[in-house]
Structures are given as C-alpha cells and as structure tokens.
Amino acid sequence: MSQESLDRELFDACACVDSTRIEKALIAGANPSYCDEHGNTPVLVLLKRKACPAHRASRFRVLEMLVAAGADVNACNAAGETPLHRACSDRAPAEVRCLLAAGADVNAQDAAGNTPVSIALDRIRVRLVRELVAVGGALAGTSEAVSLCLHVVTGDIGQVEAALQRGVSADSTTPSGNSCLHLAIRCCHVQMVELLLRHGASLWSFDASKRYTPLVLAVEMKNEEIVRLLLQQEGVRTAAPSLLAPALLSAVRSGDVSLVRKLMEYVSPDTVDEKTGTRLVDAALRDAVMHRLPEMVEQLIALGADVNAKGYPLLYVAQAPRDYDEDKKTYVGDTEELFTELSDECSEIDRRIIAILLAHGASSHRPDAAGTTPWQLVSHLSPPVFNNFHADDESINTVGIKI
C-alpha cells in the first residue's frame, strides 16, 4: 500500500474510531500528522466525532495511540481549530488532559479568536474551565462582560465584586447567552449567587437554550439552598404565574416533594397560568400522574389540586405512554402497545395512583373532550387489569390497593 493510501486509511479509520484499523495503519507506517485539503489531521477528525459516554473510553485510547505515534497536537485546520478546541467543545476532560500533557497550546486561538477557555466557558464546561485556567489558560481580547463570566465560573469572588463595582452588569452573558447567574447556579456557588443578586441580576432571564430561568435551573439541579435564596428575592410573590409554572412543573417531574412544597408557598392553589388557562396546581397534578409519582400525586391533592380538573389525571394513568423524552419534552410510545403491556402485568404504581385518585373523588365515568372515559380505556383489557374499576367510584377498594 502506498504512503498516501496508508495515510488515508488512518484518516478514515479515525473518522469512525476503528481502533483495530488505526493500530494496523500506524504499524504499517501511516503518518499520524497527515493533513487533508482542509487542514484536518487524524486527531482533529477523531475529536470531531461527538462521543457518547459508552464510546468515550475507546476514543480516548485511540487518541493515546496517535499521541504516542507522534501526532501533532497543535496542528490546526482551515478554521483555526486545534485538537484542544474540539476536546473542550465535547466535554472530554480525559482528552483535554492527554493533549495538554502532550504539549497542546492552552491559549491557541481559532479563526474567530476563541481560545480553549473561551470554548469551554461558552459551553458551560465548568471543570474544564477551571483546569485550563489552572495551567495558564485565558480568554483572548474579550470584553469585561465575558471576563466576568469567567471569574464567576472560577469562583473568584474578589474579581467578580470588583468588576460589578466598576459597573460591569450582573446580567453579563457568555457569547452564547448564558448569564452570570446561570453560571453561578451551575457551579452551585451560593455566595456568588447572593453577590450577583445584590447587584441586580435578573431572576427571569433565560439561558442559551431558552429553556431555563435561574429559578428553573436551580430546581432542575435540586439545589434547595439556591432555590430558597431565589424565592426570597423581591418580586417573586408578584411574578406572573407563567414565570413560576416551569419551576413548579420541573420540581414535580423531579419527584422532589420538599421543593414542591417550597414553591407552593409562592403559588396560591387558585393561581391560573394565563398561557394555558389551567391552575398551576392542577397542571402539576397531571404531570405527577404522567410521571408515575404516587407520593407527589398525594402531596398535590393535599395542596389543593382538583382530581377532576381539565386535563383529567385519571385518563392519563389509563392511556398515557410511560416513556418521557426529556429532550423533546414529549411522551413517546404507542397507546395500543401500552394496553397490551398493561393487560399482561398491571403496574403496581399505576394501580396505586388510580386508588389515590378514586379515593379523592375522581370519576371513572367522566368523559374527556372526545367523549372517552377512563373506564372505556381499561374495560376492554383481557384479563382486566383494574377488575373493579366500575361505575360507582365507591372507594379505594375498587382497585384493591392500600395507600
């Protein structure tokens, strides 16, 4: 095989992380620093492929092989990217350490002027930012606002306070749009959160994904101390329900009863989300049922949720697919398949939730907008999984479960 063919074989093998082919090509004399027409090397191609946790170990082993074979860890492509830029982008601390140990330039700039620290900061790779800074990594010619974000992530209270007193905004963001407050919450840095709030950081700004306000993010991270701190801020009790609703629903989905109780101190049972026209506590009950959380269902009913409200929880437990796609925020699965699954083996959790709802007055014969009742959804199952789920809605014993 010619040298050019060997080099191309190594390049292609790195693109699919095929360690066997890579090892054979290196033994046969392939050049580990070979560049294609765009300046990409085998290492750059290897790190371009996003690795899931299951495949990250094999990718790391391949990187070690290439470094040991003499690959140029500072080679950059036409966009100015070095392997370190790509490793920082892909949340790959082991690869970052390997490249640094092999002599990678911690302050190399790509064509847009980004250093590895810039990349890690913009993608909220908190540990990577700290590790890079510890070995001399820095931002290159960025604004005071981005520098403030970096000090927040590194936990440098003194630098943050000095910048805020100079007039740098507490709502400064990274280039992608993550605010200092979001970063401090990600770092679980309570003192930093307090400092930013004192200087007017907004409670209601969204992060780069446009999904999380600071309060929702703190709830998602189950950081009760920061949640309490945020809820104590002026304006929370008078905030629009649509701003509090995502935090409450996030707490429900997490199954954290104590967080739900804390948030309900700021939400009246009669508070209605103007976007949906539904009471927040009723929407929360629906989500608790959808996520199969019996303790949460009980708690929300105790807090005033209506078991017969719009959205009708009892219908959900009879018909809703069980798998919840966290990324798409949708429930996935086929209802017909679910019926088959339930007819074979009724989930104890499903039975318990139905028992709770019936015990608190849910009607098994109340139709939804399409005229379907919970009883119609389960009565055809063979063998019937809710044997005594019938018209009188008498008691908990209609499904034979103790709660």
Q: Are strands 330-332 and 272-273 parallel, antiparallel or unpaired?
A: unpaired
The region, left, alpha or beta by phi > 0 then psi within -120 to 50, assigned to residue 232 is alpha
For residue 325, the cross-strand partners are: 330
* pLDDT in the model for residue 352: 82
Kindly state the tokens that stand for 302. 């105790």
- Crossing angle (nearest 10°) for helices 294-302 and 257-264: 20
- From the number of C-beta atoms within 10 Å of its C-beta (0-12, 13-18, 19+), residue 109 rates as middle
CB 390 within 8 A of CB 375: yes
Give the residue ranges of DSSP H helices in 110-240: 116-122, 126-134, 144-154, 157-165, 180-186, 190-198, 214-220, 224-231
* pLDDT in the model for residue 336: 40
Q: Average pLDDT per run of 10 along the chain, which is 403 residues long?
A: 91 91 94 92 88 78 95 94 92 91 95 92 89 92 89 95 96 92 95 96 90 92 92 84 85 89 85 81 88 90 86 62 46 41 55 82 66 55 43 39 35
For 277, the 3-state DSSP assignment is coil
* pLDDT in the model for residue 297: 92
For 133, the 3-state DSSP assignment is helix
* pLDDT in the model for residue 120: 92
Q: Which sequence spans correspond to the domains of the chain?
A: 1-141, 307-403
Residue with tokens 């306070």: 161
Rounded to whole angstroms, how far apart are CA atoms 112 and 90? 18
Q: How far is CA 391 from the centre of its chain?
A: 43
Residue with tokens 């066997």: 20
Rounded to whole angstroms, how far apart are CA atoms 231 and 218? 11
* pLDDT in the model for residue 244: 84
* pLDDT in the model for residue 42: 95
* pLDDT in the model for residue 160: 97
CATH class given for the domain over 1-141: mainly alpha
State the DSSP H helix or E strand holding residue 279, giving kind and residue range, or none if neither: strand 278-279
* pLDDT in the model for residue 373: 61
* pLDDT in the model for residue 320: 46
* pLDDT in the model for residue 318: 58
Q: What is the pTM of this model?
A: 0.75
CB 350 within 8 A of CB 317: yes
- From the number of C-beta atoms within 10 Å of its C-beta (0-12, 13-18, 19+), residue 325 rates as exposed
Q: Which residues contact 302 (CB under 8 A, 6 or more apart)?
A: none
Length of the chain: 403
Rounded to whole angstroms, how far apart are CA atoms 26 and 133? 34
